[in-house]
Amino acid sequence: MSVTELTVAKTRRRRGFGPELPTEWQESSRCRGPQFELFFPPSGAESPEDKLDREHRAKSYCRSCSVCDNCLTYALARREDFGVWGGLTENERRVARLKSG
């Protein structure tokens, strides 16, 4: 079982903000800076096409990020409900949690 699968299995039943986890990895994340807005939905309306485009662009940053695995582990453990974390959208993370058990 991978670290991510283990984290998902251990946290599947948790609700809310989840456990306190280290966040030092965030200092090295590629999503820091002006592109940060790509990773979360806008406050206003967003068409399905715009959403897919935004998520695709966000994931392109994740693919070359040295802390992508840390990010995904954090998002799964904390049950982050919004945005692209570790290369997965909120729906993709929800599916990963369901598949884990």
Q: Is the pTM of this model over 0.75?
A: yes
Q: Are 52 and 26 in contact (CB under 8 A)?
A: no
Quote the distance between the C-alpha of residue 76 and its chain's center: 7
d(CA 99, CA 96): 5
Quick check: 25 and 32 in contact, CB under 8 A?
Answer: no
Domain residue ranges of the chain, discontinuous segments joined by + = 3-13+21-34+47-99
Distances (CA, A) of 1 to 6, 48, 52: 6, 35, 31
Provide the pLDDT confidence category of residue 10 given band limits of 50, 70 and 90.
Answer: very low
Question: What confidence tens digit (pLDDT) does each residue in 49-77 have?
Answer: 999 999 999 999 999 999 999 999 999 98
